[in-house]
Structures are given as C-alpha cells and as structure tokens.
Amino acid sequence: MATIAILGTFDTKGDEHAFIAERVRQRGHRAFLIDVGTLDAPRLQPDVSRERVLEAVGVDIDELMRRRDRGESVAAMAKAAPVFLKRLVESGQIDGVISLGGGGGTAIATAAMRALPIGFPKVMVSTLAGGNVAPYVGTKDIVMFPSIVDVAGINRISREIFSRAAGAIVGMVETVPAVGVDRPVIAASQFGNTTRCVDHARQRLEKAGFEVVVFHATGVGGRTMESLIESGMVSGVLDITTTEWADELVGGILGAGPTRLEAAARSGVPAIITPGCLDMVNFGGPESVPAGFKGRRFYAHNPQVTLMRTTPEECDRLGRVIAEKLNLSRGPVSVLLPLRAISIISAPGQPFHDPEADRALFASLKAGLRADIPVRELDMEINDPCFADACADELLAMLRQPIAV
C-alpha cells in the first residue's frame, strides 16, 4: 500500500479533493490529506493542517486570516508548501502527490511539486492545464491534467476527469521503474545542427562506461539540464550546443534564462563547452519575426521555425557573456572551438557561413576567459567526427583526474 498526498485548498475545493481521496482508497492506497487553504475553514478534515504547513516557514496563520488578502495568502502557501512537502518525501512518508485547483491552487500545488525530485509521481488537475503551463511545470516532470470544467463540484464531466486523474496517480505509484545498470551521468546539449557531433561523442562516452543524457537546446531543455546538474546527479557536462544564449541575448524564442551555463560552473562539475549553433537565433514561422529584424539573413529550418544569422556585433557580445559564465567555474572546464563551422549551415557554402562573425565570437570568448581556462582551436567543422572525438577525449581526461581536496 502506497501513501498518496492529496494536497489542496480545502476551504474552496474540499469536496473535490475528498472525491479524489476516496478513489485512491478504493484502489487500496492511503490518502494523506494536506490542507493549503487559508481564507475559510476547511470543508474536509485534513491529516495535516494549514497551520502545520505554514510553520515550515514561520508564517502566522492567524495574521493571514485576519488580513484576508488572497494574493498574500497564496504567496505564503506557495512558499511553505514546497518546504513541507519536500520534507515528507525525504523522510519517505509519501509515495506520490495529486492536487486539484484553479489559479491559486495550481500556483501553490505546483510550487510544492517543483521542489520534489524528478521521477517522484506528481499530478496536477488544473483549469490552466490547457494553456501555457511552463511557469507551473518549470523543469520538473509534473503531469498537468486539464480539468475541462472548473474545479467546482462533482458533476458528470468532473466525475470522469477526477476519476481518471486519481487512476493516473495510482498507476504511477504502483509502477516500479525498470531496473537498469546505474552508470555515471553525463549531460549533453544538442540541436539538429549538432546532432552528428553529439551522437558520435555520446557513443565514445558510453563505451567508456558513462550514461549520456541528451537535452534539446530549446530553452526548456537548457533549463532542465541546468536543474539536473544542480541536483548533483551529473558527473560531467558535454555542452556542445550553447545556442540558447543567442536567443537570450538577441531576442529569440528559445532562450534558457540568464543563468544558463552557471550550474556546472558553480558546482564544479567537469565541463566541455563549444559555441555550437551560436550562429542562429530562433523564431517561429516567418510572420513571427519582429519587424526590427527586417533585412537580416534568414533560413527556413521548417515551416514553423525561422533562423536568423547572428551578426559580428552580436557574436562579440555572445563571446563576452559566455566567458563571463565560464569564469565562475570552480572545477575543470575546457573550451573547444571548431574553426570551420559552428553548425551545419555555417560551413563554407552554406547559408549562414560568415567568417567575420565567427572570428568575432572566438576572439571575444578567448579574450574574456580566465587565463587558467584552456581553449583548443581545431581547424574543422563542429560535426566532424574528429571534433566530436576531441570533445569526448577531453571530458574523459577531466573525469579521470583526482578530485582536489
């Protein structure tokens, strides 16, 4: 029998969470009820009171209820619930978590779920699940279940949805992950324009006894990779595709945020860095490109993706930013520069071939780096198997070095 946390605002969604709890019990598991409501008395008797949840961060529930400010209450619970739920998981008291909510409930519950490890079962039934869920999911594996109708009573539609959601969390806690050989993990970044390089390097690293986890450098991919590195699960980083910084700096749609490249640097994880795909900024279809970029060099990757070539001035800025991030490194880091092409389409004869822009990128990166960070310049394209071998060999050499005490 597993213990499933039913977390929610029991002052407004008590009946709905009671319905989920009963479905969990019918499947032979324990429902552990956690109240994160604040404004009115709970309609469902919890196992964990709202007072106890707020104690995790030292918030006085009486003061919150006296002011009756909904925004303040949601913010307080969104701060306390992650701390409390994480403690339950770390102490082995719960095996999964499910919640139902509108805007406030979703904000509180998903904040708590984002504090939990990847792989821990998490289901959020939400009125917001049909829209942009990135702010709620973040980089974690939260299953967002559209409520279809409002979470307001049990009716012929909500009964179906809530029952299926309860079945989903039950199935998740009952599923035993496949047993495999756990090997040290290397995180790698990839784009279609660097796939051949990453594939070749990955094969070399896997033969050496490592498990390579590849992330698509689409913004969320970079953020997720950074999160995994921060978790301590990663032994090395093969950051072939740093393209997300081009979108972040120039204004494309696939930026990964201002802390991209910081996780490995700050945690001391050995890392190989290359300027993969920094020749391109991503937009949607041609109509999505901002008018301010009129006259620039574009390439239609597919009908939904339009690429824009970075200019020498932008490449100069990119080199300086990346150097700044790498200078934070507490562990071994090496930069490898493929002098002939940083993507498939920047090679000679290809639409984004621009030696001046590449030279500006390489020069500013080298000039901005700390003196102790090695830079290898290789007269080859990024997808040349020899370049991939050089990246893999350099990372393996780092990983074989004894850790400095």
Cβ neighbors of 194 (< 8 A, separation 6 or more) are: 240, 241, 276, 277, 343, 382, 383
Considering the domain architecture, whether residues 189 and 143 belong to the same structural domain is answered as no
Question: Is the same domain home to 217 and 119?
Answer: no
pLDDT (0 to 100) of residue 405: 37
pLDDT of residue 224: 93
Tally of domains within the chain: 2
Claim to verify: residue 157 and residue 202 sit in the same structural domain = no
Query: Which one of 174, 201, 234 terminates a domain?
Result: 174
Residue 303 within any structural domain of the chain: yes
Q: Return the closest-CA partner of residue 311 out of 347, 340, 352, 344.
A: 352
Do residue 13 and residue 67 come from a single domain? yes
CB 188 within 8 Å of CB 222: no
391 CB neighbour count, 10 Å cutoff: 29
Q: Are residues 215 and 237 in the same domain?
A: yes
305, 205: one domain: yes
Amino acid at 308: M
pLDDT at position 180, please? 66
**Phi, psi torsion values for 367, nearest 5 degrees:** -65, -30
Q: What does pTM read for this prediction?
A: 0.80
Which strand (E) or helix (H) includes residue 138? none
Residue 179 pLDDT: 66
Residue 83's Cβ-side half-sphere holds a number of Cα atoms within 13 Å equal to 13
Tell me the C-alpha to C-alpha distance, in Å, between residue 197 and each of 129, 154, 338: 36, 53, 11
User: What domain range includes position 309?
Assistant: 185-400
Residues 224, 133 share a domain = no
Residue 180 lies in a domain: no
Q: Is residue 81 part of a domain?
A: yes
Both 206 and 101 in one domain: the answer is no
CATH number assigned to the domain comprising residue 145 = 3.40.50.12020
Q: End of a domain among 154, 174, 194? A: 174
Residue 307 lies in a domain: yes
- pLDDT digit string (tens) for the chain, length 405 residues: 999 999 999 999 999 999 999 999 999 999 999 999 988 888 899 999 999 999 989 887 777 777 777 788 889 999 999 999 999 999 999 999 999 999 999 999 999 999 999 889 999 999 999 888 989 998 899 999 999 999 999 999 999 999 999 999 999 999 987 766 679 999 999 999 999 999 999 999 999 999 999 999 999 999 999 999 998 889 999 999 999 999 999 999 999 999 999 999 999 999 999 999 999 999 999 999 999 999 999 999 988 999 999 999 999 999 999 999 999 999 999 999 999 999 999 999 999 999 999 999 999 999 999 999 999 999 999 999 999 999 999 999 999 876 543
Q: Last residue of a domain, which of 139, 174, 209?
A: 174
pLDDT given at position 38: 84
